[in-house]
Structure 1
Amino acid sequence: MIRKKVRPPRNLVLVMGDQLDGQSAAFDGFDPVNDIILMMELREEADNIPQNKRRIAFFFAAMRHFCEEQRALGRTVLYSELDEPGNVGSFAGEVQRRFSQIKPDGAVIVLEPGDYRVRESLEALDLPIQFREDRHFLCSREDFVAMREEQPTMILETFYRAMRVKHDILMNGDKPVGGQWNFDKDNRKSFGRNGPPLLPPKPTFKPDEITGDVLALVERCFPDNPGSLARFDLPVTREHALQALDDFVRYRLPEFGRYQDAMAGGQPFLFHSVLSGPLNLHLLNPREVLDAVLDNPSNAPLNAVEGFVRQVLGWREWVRGIYWHLMPDYAERNALDADLPVPRFYWTGETDMRCLAEAIGHTIHHAYAHHIERLMVLGQFCLLLGVRPYDVHRWHMSMFWDAIDWVSLPNTLGMSQHGDGGVMGTKPYCASGAYIDRMSDHCGRCRYDPQQSIGDRACPFTTLYWDFLARHQERLAGNTRMRGPFMNLARKDPEEMQQIRDRAVMLRETLTAETFLPEPGQA
């Protein structure tokens, strides 16, 4: 009997957890007969930092659903589950193991990773790796570099306007719809004494059998991690993601604009879209999200529509461009020489500062906090305290379900910590407790007084704000946007300032005496 020789597979298409798009460039020319998909759940990725259980479950559940969807299309998928025998647990090791098993005679095809570290790991392998451009984004890495070369001092607003023109979004010829490029002044309303208006319920998605298996896996393998899987309801499929998008544009977009910077106790979602997770895992495409908002089925006002467009078309694309343009050195930047660890209570929420307890509580229980909580509460407190910028990024990656390296690093190290010296934002995002009092209802239920900077009832934000200005006056004095704060600092009585400085030293020593985050590279 003459045995027919079995032909080896052609290409191994590597699909990572944040690339769940069956129409991506990785599948261009895909042959279901000769090509194989590889997906991997890895210990190295799941426990290199103590991640929120909800974050791990979101990724693994979304990955397993995508795997089943691809198999239903007749595509072959090699899927390495976290605890299956043979899974070596490391990124490079598992790719190498699977490649050796099937011995393809083509290449390992992979979409541009969202993490510089992952790209380095792939490039270090002695395998035929073929990277393909990620069409998910509306500004390619090459186009971003060209724009920066043409305008080296380009800021977000310049970039955003160029993107509006390029994609003909909210344009009337060569002019912006409504006669102005942004409506920031209309989008900074607080809820006032009456609190938020009637809030529409956020859509929820009941776990199916696949997701249930993942929840059990996470509880079994990561029992001591922060966070909770109780009432897990995240959108882990493309169908879920489309339902979440439709819900946002119909019911929450009209109030999103004016209240996007407001905070309220016990309300983690308010009028925010909560679409960053599905977007960052490629379950949604940014263009379809923008189109849904521009279709505007709820007849939302222009300030709401433009405010959301700016987040997706402007900020999201800008952040990715900065990341890939400046990595890997970007991760090492620390313009303010901050050297303290993230306080332990950032993982537990055990603090008597009401605003931080609320924001951290949202983060622990939902693996989510909206952008003002992240920037002006969680991020700002680390900035004022003097936490190492990269540690803030690592905490962010640990705790939020939507965190990917390319989006987290510039937002934390750059924007919230001013660690890049002004690339992401032209000034540090710093304010006293008065800002939080104006934008939330937290201070009225807090033991601290936002107007006081010394004494037992002094708000730590206010104390640390004045200390931050004093510590960095020489470094930031030339920043024209900081002129007002430094003029106010100059009016401070020297004796009061010394008391502020002394109290700030005490706060830094006591609040960072314990930490939870291991050093980079440790589990």
Structure 2
Amino acid sequence: MTSLSSELDGCLLDPSVLTSSSFERIALVLGDQLNASHSWYREVDPQRLFVIMEVRQETDYATHHIQKVVGFFAAMRKFAAALTKAGHEVLYLTLDASVNQQNVCNNLTHLTSLAPKLTHIDLQQPDEYRVDAYLQAWAEHQSLTVTWHDTEHFLCERNVLSEWFPAKHNFLMESFYRRVRKLTGYLMENGKPIGGKWNFDKENRNKLPAKHEVSNTLCFAHDVSALVDMIKKSGVKTIGEINPRQFIWPITRAESRQLLEHFAQNLLPEFGRYQDAMHTDHWSLYHARLSFALNTKMISPREVVERAIRQWQQHPDTINIAQVEGFVRQIIGWREFIRAIYWHHMPGYQKLNFFDNKQPLPDFYWTGDTRMQCLASSIKQSLKYAYAHHIQRLMITGNFALLIGAAPDVVDDWYLGIYIDAIEWVELPNTRGMSQFADAGILATKPYVSSGSYINKMSNYCANCHYDVNQRTGDNACPFNSLYWNFIHQHQHQLSNNPRMALILNQWQKRTAEQQQELVQQAKLYLGSINNL
């Protein structure tokens, strides 16, 4: 067990020291810019001061999971300590520091006013539009020289879609993914995809078999009691649970690499096969859980992908191409594509609402107290671990939110807050686009909605549920069934031109008026008592 109580020993904590300093440059390091391999750190410059800060501006723009706030602060503190140990000059503003103005730009303004010899400000490009906007606005009013730097993390630039597909408005992830494969050479041989196919997704949709033994999950055990106390005393509003003496997430680069190694050696052989599976007894299954480490930049996408490929090359008898391709696609395909979509369409993207949905989320999204086993398990897991994998997010909580007509804004806020890996550039397209289809198909080619049959196919959730997945109407009928068909009924005109929805629309239209009415009435009954389901 490790403690963070003295992590900041040696870091410059008193900004007043700046008045007698010889610092000529200040370099701001944001909480998701913890890239130890960045070129900034190759040489020690005694005239450069690295500034890292904990501010209410970032804790309060959404109601975050307590583990998310703790995870970021803990990783930031470890990073500051590592920079100091390497000989760099560091000023770290804790959330409870008396001089902390709780705003990034206000703190920067104050710090720059204290340093008499300061001439330059170095900033890395933020990944969130709102952070980029406030730093750009601040930089424009500075008399100092402000220099912007790349974060040196992603494989592609922000504007890659405009560069690669200049005449298009809609983009297919598959086309993007293939181009990145060609660009990097990952899983390529003589210009062709290894295995003869680009995508093995159809082989990666298996339900977890009964009595299947899942490999152990690697969890850390950090004592973050002091951080939790500080956050609570500061009045930061949070959601979710935390064990202050057993914080399970990686907070250093070394731990992030340890988690990657654990995945490569123990989980990759079954990852692709069961990556869409869900189970009440296994909260992480074969997932790498590297998204927090990746999104804070403690670890890079290149080293993650290359380690997975190397493991596959060394163990072709236990890892087949479908397993490793499914993982590589998530990192160099989906993750990079999501970021590209975000920057191509912001800021307008965050206002899109194709279905004009306006409903609130049910109360049980903050408690997990519902008789629907799939939602109860997924939400309670999210509250306990600040984590759920992509199918739980897309086809359980996201699916239900879309079926009940939840407003995209409240859905965005919930996803942005509850998951430890949620930063807006990755959360917003996945939620508003992929999950809620609020962008009318910019990201996804169809709405990702389903009845209870899909959930039953991919999980054991339905086995002990209060509701009967095989019933569409009646007292104990699975709510997903009637809500699904009600969604089709409500939006058939909007979906009539979508070729991927033609089959299901045809099935609905072939039902008798009486059958349609029964399903719609059942859905209305459930919608009217949504908090009691």
User: Does TM, scored on the shorter chain, surpass 0.5?
Assistant: yes
Name the TM tier (shorter chain). over 0.9
**Amino acid of the structure 1 residue aligned with 2:125:** E
For residue 505 of structure 1, what is the amino acid of its counterpart? K
Q: 1:257 aligns with which of 272, 276, 281?
A: 272
Structure 1, residues 426-477: CA drift from partner, whole Å, max 9, x if none? Answer: 1000110100011000111101112222211111111110011011100001
Equivalent in the alignment of 1:82: 95
Q: Greater shift after overlay, 147-156 or 346-355?
A: 147-156
Instruction: Provide the rounded CA distance (Å) in 2 between the counterparts of 1:104 and 1:70.
Output: 22
% identical aligned pairs: 37
Compared with structure 1, are the counterparts of its residues 469 and 70 closer, same or farther at alpha carbon in structure 2 (3 Å cutoff)?
Answer: same
3-state SS of the aligned residue for 1:77?
A: strand
CA distance in 2 between partners of 1:477 and 1:427 (Å): 11
Could you tell me how far apart the structure 2 residues matched to 1:438 and 1:6 are?
67
Letter in 1 for 2:69: I
Alignment partner of 1:384 out of 399, 403, 406: 403
Contact 1:254 1:298 in 2 (8 A): no
Report 1:79-228 matches (<5 A): 79-103=92-116, 105-125=118-138, 126-127=141-142, 128=144, 129-149=146-166, 151-192=168-209, 194-195=210-211, 197-207=212-222, 211-221=224-234, 225-228=238-241
Kindly state the Cα deviation for residue 14 of structure 1 after the two structures are TM-superposed. Answer: 0.6
Quote how far apart the aligned CAs of 1:93 are.
1.9
1:10 to 7, 24, 36: 24
The 5 Å alignment of 1:300-311 reads 300-311=319-330
- In the alignment, structure 2 segments of 5+ residues that lack a partner are 1-18
Question: 1:425-464 to 2 correspondence within 5 Å?
Answer: 425-464=444-483
Q: 1:285 to 1:29 in 2, by over 3 A?
A: closer
Q: Following the alignment from structure 2 to structure 1, what is the Cα–Cα distance between the partners of residues 252 and 26?
A: 23
Contact 1:342/1:512 (<8 A) preserved: no
| 5+ residue gaps, structure 1 | 515-523
Query: Which among 54, 76, 91 is matched to residue 67 of structure 2?
Result: 54
Equivalent in 31, 34, 49 of residue 20 of structure 1: 34
Which is further off, 28-37 or 119-128? 28-37
How many Å separate the matches in 1 of 2:333 and 2:407? 27
Trace 1:310-329 onto structure 2 (pairs within 5 A).
310-329=329-348
Secondary structure at 1:138's aligned position in 2? Answer: coil
Identify if the C-alpha distance between structure 1 residues 341 and 98 changes in structure 2 by more than 3 Å, giving closer, same or farther. Answer: farther
Question: 2:47 matched to 1:34?
Answer: yes
Q: Which moved more, 1:145-154 or 1:37-46?
A: 145-154
Deviation at 1:502, TM superposition (A): 2.7
Amino acid at match of 2:147: Q
Maintained 8 Å contact 1:188/1:259? yes
Give the C-alpha shift of residue 212 in structure 1. Answer: 4.0
Give the Cα separation in 2 of the matches to 1:264 and 1:493: 37
The answer to which of 38-47 and 55-64 deviates more is 38-47
Q: Distance in 1 between matches of 2:60 and 2:168?
A: 40
> CA offsets, 1:168-225, max 9 Å, x none?
1111112110000111111001124x14x222211122215xx443233234445863
Pair 223,313 (structure 1): closer, same or farther in 2 beyond 3 Å: closer
Higher alpha-carbon deviation: 483-492 or 304-313:
483-492
Aligned counterparts of 1:513 and 1:203: Cα–Cα separation in 2: 37
For 2:52, what is the secondary structure of its paired residue? Answer: strand
The one-letter code sitting in structure 2 at the alignment partner of 1:385 is I
Structure-to-structure mapping, 1:404-483, within 5 angstroms: 404-483=423-502
Offset at 1:152?
4.3
Structure 1's 349 and 9: CA in aligned 2 closer, same or farther, altered over 3 A?
Answer: same
Matching residue's letter, 1:381:
F
Shift of 1:101: 2.6
* Aligned length, in residue pairs: 505
The equivalent of 2:13 in structure 1 is none
- Displacement after TM superposition at 1:7 (Å): 6.3
For 2:94, the aligned partner's letter is: E
Letter in 1 for 2:278: M
Tell me the CA shift for residue 11 of structure 1.
1.5
Query: Displacement of 1:276 after TM fit?
Result: 0.5
Deviation at 1:150, TM superposition (A): 5.1
Sort the Cα spacing of 1:103 and 1:364 in 2 relative to 1 into closer, same or farther, 3 A. farther
Give the RMSD, CA atoms, in angstroms. Answer: 2.0
